[in-house]
Amino acid sequence: MPSFSETTAQAEHATVGDRSVGPVLPQVARFDTPLPLACGRTLAQYELAYETYGTLDAARSNAVLICHALNASHHVAGFYAEDPGNVGWWDNMVGPGKPLDTQRFFVVGVNNLGSCFGSTGPLSTNPETGRAWGSDFPLITVEDWVDAQAQLADRLGIRQWAAVMGGSLGGMQALDWAIRYPSRIRNALVIAAAPNLSAENIAFNEIARQAIMTDPDFHDGNFEAYDAKPRRGLRVARMIGHITYLSDEQMDAKFGRQLREGLNFSFAPEFQIESYLRHQGEKFAEYYDANTYLRITKALDYFDPATREDGDLARALAPATCRFLVISFSTDWRFPASRSREIVKALVRGRRDVSYTEIAAPHGHDAFLLDNPQYHAVVRAWFERIASEIGAAQ
């Protein structure tokens, strides 16, 4: 499996130290019960790649599900023995003594359907044809993901999650768990998320998709058959995404108008930010699958639980019975604090149990992956409360 990261910032901050869960092994669960999808199609069978850290207690009450965002995976914490540099994307959050303490909790990281990192997706073999699904893999929604995650919970013998937690698109999955599986979740941690995408969010996704789909090497999604890969499109898509992960001020602090050498009056990279973005694009184009990228951005676009209640988010959240922790970051302009507050207001209006924190951080949307002391203290305190409740119940 390739090394990957939601953002570069993550890679810089992840550390393999004393408090790491250590070497981990990905596992695969195979399901033969058909999974009906929102698009109307059905996956007759599928696999989910996952990892677990810590020990499930006898009462099966200390399980926490981590949901990943756009291009991360089930590799949340620890590292692979054969590739020690490949550290989980939320390793600063999950481990012994970390905010989500694996000495107390049994943590499950799962790769979503449609991904290219192990769970069934466009790169997998379509049993009906014997060839890779490719462009014929169905479009998947957040709800489909959560339904599949519920199957995994059953398989692991987890009737109720102590918490479901995620940032960005992962936060949307936590929200959906709370709404559609209320009896199976005691806490939802919804971080750097939004109740749906704004027109601007959709616009960024659509441009990324257009870059991929108009790449002549895309071949309507059947690029594998042509021994091709739409690298140009993936590069541009990644560069576009990357801008939305960082705050303007963070970009200025990190790159500003710094030149690599001097002005050369050509279209070779001159500013540091140019070579940084090109490098990010190149890396991504090598390890990511174009059909997966298209599908995950669509899942983001589609998510909008309020539509089921004529746009009334409070009504959409009414089935939820868990406690909510909602966290936003001051310079996140992909999902600004105001979007998180929409969730909070809807929960308050519905008299649900919700805590909200806006963290002052310069890092933009990326901040949810970084080791911000205030942010981590809030999450730590939340899990300490959950742990003490588990202790009291036993």
Interface residues with its own copies (CB under 8 A) are 38-40, 138-139, 196-200, 202-204, 206-207, 209-211, 213-216, 232, 235-236, 239-240, 242-243, 246, 248, 251-252, 254-257, 263, 265-267, 269-271, 273-274, 277-278, 281, 294, 298, 301-302, 304, 333
CB of 137 to its own copies, least distance (A): 12
CB of 313 to its own copies, least distance (A): 13
Point out which residues pair with 87 in neighbouring strands: 79
Q: How would you classify the pairing of strands 163-167 and 187-191?
A: parallel
Residue 365: active-site member: yes
Please, which residue, 335 or 382, has the CB nearer to its own copies?
335
Residue 366: active-site member: no
Residue 232 to residues 4, 41, 186, 235: CA-CA distances in angstroms?
19, 31, 44, 5
Please, which residue, 342 or 389, has the CB nearer to its own copies?
342
Tell which residue, 175, 190, 117, has the closest CA to residue 368. Answer: 190
Give the distance between the most distant pair of CA atoms in the chain.
Answer: 70
Angstrom distance (rounded) from CA 383 to CA 338 = 25
Helices (H), the chain: 8-13, 142-156, 169-180, 199-213, 231-245, 248-254, 272-287, 290-302, 313-316, 337-349, 373-393
Q: 144, 176, 332, 366: which is the annotated catalytic residue?
A: 332
Q: 74, 242, 363, 365: which is the annotated catalytic residue?
A: 365
DSSP class of residue 309 equals: G
Please, which residue, 155 or 279, has the CB nearer to its own copies?
279
Residue 119: active-site member: no
Angstrom distance (rounded) from CA 133 to CA 138 = 9
CB of 102 to its own copies, least distance (A): 37
Query: 177 burial class (0-12, 13-18, 19+ CB within 10 angstroms)?
Result: buried
Angstrom distance (rounded) from CA 15 to CA 84 = 11
CB of 92 to its own copies, least distance (A): 25
CB of 206 to its own copies, least distance (A): 5
CB of 152 to its own copies, least distance (A): 24
Please, which residue, 190 or 246, has the CB nearer to its own copies?
246
Please, which residue, 109 or 233, has the CB nearer to its own copies?
233
3-state secondary structure of 324: strand
Q: 168, 247, 328, 340: which is the annotated catalytic residue?
A: 168
Please, which residue, 102 or 292, has the CB nearer to its own copies?
292
Which residues are within 8 A (CB) of 22 and not within 5 positions of it... i.e. 6 or more apart?
78, 79
Which residues are within 8 A (CB) of 307 and not within 5 positions of it... i.e. 6 or more apart?
none
Which residues does the annotation mark as catalytic?
A: 168, 332, 365
